[in-house]
Amino acid sequence: MADTQPFTVLIVGGGLVGSLASLYFARRGWNVQVYEKRLDPRTDPTPSGRSINLALSVRGISALQEVGVDEAILKTAIPMKGRMIHSLDGELTSQPYGVFGEHINSIDRKLLNEHLLNSADALSNVHTHFEHEMTQCDFDSKAVSFMKIDGTKVTVKADLIIGADGAYSRVRQQMMRKVRMDFSQEYIDHEWVELTIPPRKDGSYAMNPNHLHIWPRQTFMMIALPNTDKSFTVTLFMPRDKFQSVRTESDLIRFFESTFPDAVPLIGLDLLVGEYFKNPKGSLVSIKCSPYHYQDRCVIIGDAAHAMVPFYGQGMNCGFEDIQALDEFISTHLSVAAPSGSTSPSPLAIGEALKAYSASRHKDLVKINDLAMHNYVEMRSDVTKVGYLLRKKLEAA
């Protein structure tokens, strides 16, 4: 006899990874419910407090491509064909990423999230719910509880729970009560703050927009990525005690004039002072855990499974790749186990797919997490050695 209830996937977290995951599960005709604790970003004017733009690379694009959202998203992206190194004396050195025009893409986080949510809302079997904070998962009775913004509680049933609720994942916490999960978390001693280089008076970009700009200063660095409104979002990464030593306006101006002299006129003193003291300072955490699943009931993806420091520009890209990898395992296991007459996937096949995903994905995620940590040294220091070598080569030619 055919099942009457559609198989329900409940995704906790409507951020970048959760919203893309909904498109993948919807393709299977399953009932997809996305629950997000924040307000709907499409109607909420307050900034999220997260980084404003991101580097989208081929790893992430491939996952977007599979559900047909890549072209529209890439229309809003700015290609960055190399790094532009800003030395202390203002000299600029371009380091192309490749000789065949290989590039990464600067993309607006909010626009990307909104595009994915709009794509999800366009599907009749995806339902998005905002202002719902997940408080508890009872995996055995398949019940997930939420606190709504007005303080009321709701509990809903789901066949499969996806934890896409970020680095401080509550789904992961709940899973740890059931699973012998290895877990490690490391805060690095560096924080970040975002600043802005506005467009020039004539409305044009103040620097070359097709580069990821880096001011490497050995033990810390500043970077800038272009935005479509002709501004750049600048991120200063520094040790906590260095942030704490810059207490007053004059400390800040002295520090910038001696450390990033060419950036001062580009940002402008008023904006620099305003944003540096007003904008939140973010911490940087690296999280590793294993396994990522519990039976046929739950799996964590994205930062919930592998938050990494941002220096390799791969956190979101890897989260997107998680979805693609998970989807492949589900397809493989369902194709050999589809019970006749049933529209619902077999729990056994789902369980096997999650188990295989967990086992195969872990090695890659640990590696990229480590590479991300290592790339901070590359960006803040080693790039200057490359620059030096390149210059020498050109001088000799």
Among 8, 11, 13, 211, binds ligand FAD (CB under 6 A): 13
Among 27, 31, 51, 88, binds ligand FAD (CB under 6 A): 51
Among 24, 25, 192, 357, binds ligand FAD (CB under 6 A): 192
Contact flag: residue 319 with ligand FAD (CB under 6 A): yes
Among 26, 84, 316, 368, binds ligand FAD (CB under 6 A): 316
Kindly indicate which of the ranges 85-93, 314-322, 357-365, 385-393 contains the residues binding ligand FAD, using the contact rule CB under 6 A.
314-322
Among 9, 23, 55, 222, binds ligand FAD (CB under 6 A): 55
Contact flag: residue 17 with ligand FAD (CB under 6 A): yes
Q: Is 366 exposed, middle or buried (0-12, 13-18, 19+ CB in 10 A)?
A: middle
Amino acid, single-letter form, for residue 43: T
Contact flag: residue 36 with ligand FAD (CB under 6 A): yes
Contact 299, 358 (CB under 8 A): yes
What is the torsional sign of CA 306, 116, 174, 290?
negative
Nearest to ligand FAD of 268, 282 (CB atom): 282
Binding string, residues 120-159; x marks residues near ligand FAD by CB under 6 A = -------------xx-------------------------
Contact flag: residue 380 with ligand FAD (CB under 6 A): no
260 phi and psi angles, rounded to 5 deg:
-130, 55
Q: Which helix or strand (DSSP H or E) is residue 364 part of?
A: helix 347-377
Contact flag: residue 246 with ligand FAD (CB under 6 A): no
Number of residues that bind ligand FAD (CB under 6 A): 33
In the sheet that holds 153-157, the strands lie side by side as 132-138, 143-148, 153-157
Site for ligand FAD in 272-291 (CB under 6 A): 282
Contact flag: residue 15 with ligand FAD (CB under 6 A): yes
From the CB of 348, what's the least distance to ligand FAD, in Å? 28
Strands (E), 13-152: 31-35, 53-56, 78-80, 82-86, 92-96, 104-108, 126-129, 132-138, 143-148
Contact 146, 153 (CB under 8 A): yes
Where helices occur in 224-314 by DSSP H, the ranges are 240-245, 249-259, 263-267, 269-278, 303-306
Q: For residue 316, what is the DSSP state? A: H
Question: Which spans of this chain sit near ligand FAD (rule: CB under 6 A)?
Answer: 12-18, 35-38, 51, 54-55, 133-134, 164-166, 170, 192, 235, 282, 302-304, 310, 313-317, 319
